[in-house]
């Protein structure tokens, strides 16, 4: 299939924004021992703008060298981090101005606001604050305009830092496929059935005897998250708030014996007559909102194409397509007429890269670039305060 399907590698050496003055920004990873935390470590190793300087996790891991605290899942742990001592998730112990959170939701609720209150720019993967009215829930190509919420958030909460969230991994895959169609034609109804990889359940996750040779038609809390987050992601920003789109969404969430890559089968009903050919054309042309395409092109983690459309009758497949765009592209195929709604299609994307760590890193890259409407001076304020703390 003609797409840029390659294994994840450190990002290309994109020129850094002038504001960095040749220096990389120190970043910390909270929840660094887990499946998403380790994906952050892998993706950030060799990153041209960010340098992982601190790793934090629970009290069970704090004080131990990283190689002892983390059971490394994929490839090799970067040698330079093996002996780094894991810190507790406490802003008094972790100094970096930018914090990537891969925390379990049981910890994220208290820890993430504590870091934002302590002047850090927090990029969260946890579910806790995604639906809060003053918290941006971002997929850059889908709804970057929602980052404008930060202004209100910092004022209302009195935070010198800020909190930005990522969407649930299944809804990320679905929303990337639906956003171009919603913008072009207006979607009224969506039926979504997922087939979700085991890495979505974290480490150690689902017991092997439950999942091998099996499919489990239940993932706790997943279906309401898909339905609600979709309406916020596809909503519009104006006057300091995001208006959720009045889309009717019905989701079925299933766990399958796949390592990485969430597949979502979608049937879509539009406000007007739309053909499969119209859908394919809109998906192929889509790059995201005009205002940020130039910024995205300069981001080391952005894929050349956010959506890769395939005409092959049996794709996308996680094993073959999950690393498209270094895990940052969503692959869409099987676009065809639907007897119940209008058009149906299949979307698949990497759950721990686009659906989690890679998505957060892309959000951070756009903030570093100051891609509008990021509040003016946000990064300078946060890194300046960090420099003052360090001196
Ligand atoms: N896996 C995926 O595809 C996706 C995951 N997410 C979300 O990302 C987050 C991380 O997921 P994942 O990596 O899969 O989960 P894991 O269970 O693999 O990792 C959880 C991490 O949280 C840490 N942690 C747990 N409890 C505490 C605590 N009380 N205080 C501090 N740290 C704690 C763990 O540290 P320790 O090792 O010390 O226990 C570990 O580092 C979750 O919120 C998840 O919902 C979002 C999208 C996709
Ligand atoms: N529930 C997802 C992963 C996840 O952690 O989602 P969330 O961050 O929305 O809880 C899965 O199992 O594949």
Distance CA 284, CA 107 (A): 40
Structure tokens at 215: 């499919």
Lowest mean pLDDT among 16-20, 104-108, 259-263, 291-295: 16-20
- CATH code matching the domain that covers 18-168+355-390, chosen among 3.50.50.60, 1.10.1740.10, 3.40.30.10, 3.40.50.720: 3.40.50.720
User: Of these residues, 3, 47, 146, 262, which one is catalytic?
Assistant: 262
Q: What is the mean pLDDT of residues 150-164?
A: 97
Q: What is residue 390's predicted lDDT score, i.e. its pLDDT? A: 79
Could you give the percent of the chain with pLDDT greater than 90? 90
Residue 262 appears among annotated catalytic residues: yes
Cα–ligand 1 centroid distance for 239 (angstroms): 34
In which residue ranges of the chain is CATH 3.40.50.720 found?
18-168+355-390
294 pLDDT tier (thresholds 50, 70, 90) = very high
The yes/no answer on whether domain 169-350 falls in CATH 1.20.1290.10 is: no
43 pLDDT tier (thresholds 50, 70, 90) = very high
pTM of the model: 0.95
In degrees, rounded to 5, the angle at the alpha carbon of residue 246 between the alpha carbons of residues 184 and 223 is 100
In which residue ranges of the chain is CATH 3.30.360.10 found?
169-350
Mutate to test the pocket of ligand 2, among 170, 211, 349, 360 (most ligand atoms within 8 A of CB): 170
Residue 265 appears among annotated catalytic residues: no
pLDDT digits (tens, 9 = 90+) for 184-243: 999 999 999 999 999 999 999 999 999 999 999 999 999 999 999 999 999 999 999 999
For ligand 2, residues with CB inside 6 Å are: 127, 168-169, 196, 200-201, 219, 222, 225, 351
15 pLDDT tier (thresholds 50, 70, 90) = low
ipTM associated with this complex: 0.98
Q: What is residue 384's predicted lDDT score, i.e. its pLDDT? A: 86
HEC-encoded secondary structure of 125-171: CCCCCCCCCCCCECCHHHHHHHHHHHHHHHHHHCCCCEEEECCCHHH
Assess whether pLDDT exceeds 50 at residue 4. Answer: no
Distance CA 368, CA 373 (A): 12
User: Of these residues, 3, 47, 169, 260, which one is catalytic?
Assistant: 169
User: Which bin fits 225, alpha (ψ -120 to 50), beta or left (φ > 0)?
Assistant: alpha
- Taken in order 387, 388, 389, 391, the sign of the CA dihedral is positive
Q: Cβ distance 51 to 364 under 8 Å?
A: no
């Amino acid at each position: 299939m003609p797409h840029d399907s390659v294994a994840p590698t450190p990002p290309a050496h994109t020129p850094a924004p002038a504001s960095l003055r040749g220096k990389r920004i120190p970043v910390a990873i909270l929840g660094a021992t887990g499946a998403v935390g380790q994906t952050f470590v892998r993706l950030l190793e060799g990153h041209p703008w960010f340098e992982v300087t601190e790793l934090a996790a629970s009290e069970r891991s704090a004080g131990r060298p990283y190689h002892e605290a983390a059971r490394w899942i994929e490839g090799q742990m970067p040698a330079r981090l093996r002996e780094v001592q894991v810190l507790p998730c406490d802003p008094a112990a972790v100094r970096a101005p930018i914090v990537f959170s891969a925390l379990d939701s049981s910890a994220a609720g208290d820890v993430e606001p504590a870091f934002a209150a302590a002047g850090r720019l927090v990029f969260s993967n946890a579910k806790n604050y995604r639906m809060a009215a003053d918290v941006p829930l971002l997929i850059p190509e889908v709804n970057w305009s929602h980052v404008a919420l930060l202004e209100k958030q910092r004022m209302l909460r009195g935070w010198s830092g800020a909190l930005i969230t990522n969407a649930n991994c299944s809804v990320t895959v679905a929303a990337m496929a639906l956003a171009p169609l919603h913008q072009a034609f207006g979607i009224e109804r969506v039926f979504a059935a997922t087939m979700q990889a085991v890495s979505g359940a974290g480490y150690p996750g689902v017991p092997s005897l439950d999942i091998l040779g099996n499919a489990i038609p239940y993932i706790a809390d997943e279906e309401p998250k898909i339905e609600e987050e979709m309406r916020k992601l596809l909503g519009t920003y104006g006057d300091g708030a995001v208006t959720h789109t009045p889309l009717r969404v019905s989701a079925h969430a299933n766990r399958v014996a796949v390592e990485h890559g969430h597949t979502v089968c979608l049937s879509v009903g539009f406000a007007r007559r739309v053909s499969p050919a119209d859908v394919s054309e809109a998906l192929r042309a889509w790059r995201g909102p005009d205002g940020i395409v130039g910024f995205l092109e300069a981001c080391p983690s952005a894929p050349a194409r956010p959506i890769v459309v395939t005409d092959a009758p049996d794709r996308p497949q996680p094993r073959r397509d999950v690393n498209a765009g270094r895990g940052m592209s969503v692959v869409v195929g099987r676009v065809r007429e639907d007897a119940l709604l209008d058009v149906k299609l299949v979307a698949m994307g990497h759950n721990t890269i686009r659906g989690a760590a890679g998505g957060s890193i892309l959000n951070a890259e756009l903030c570093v670039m100051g891609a509008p409407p990021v509040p003016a001076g946000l990064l300078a304020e946060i890194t300046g305060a960090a420099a003052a703390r360090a001196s």
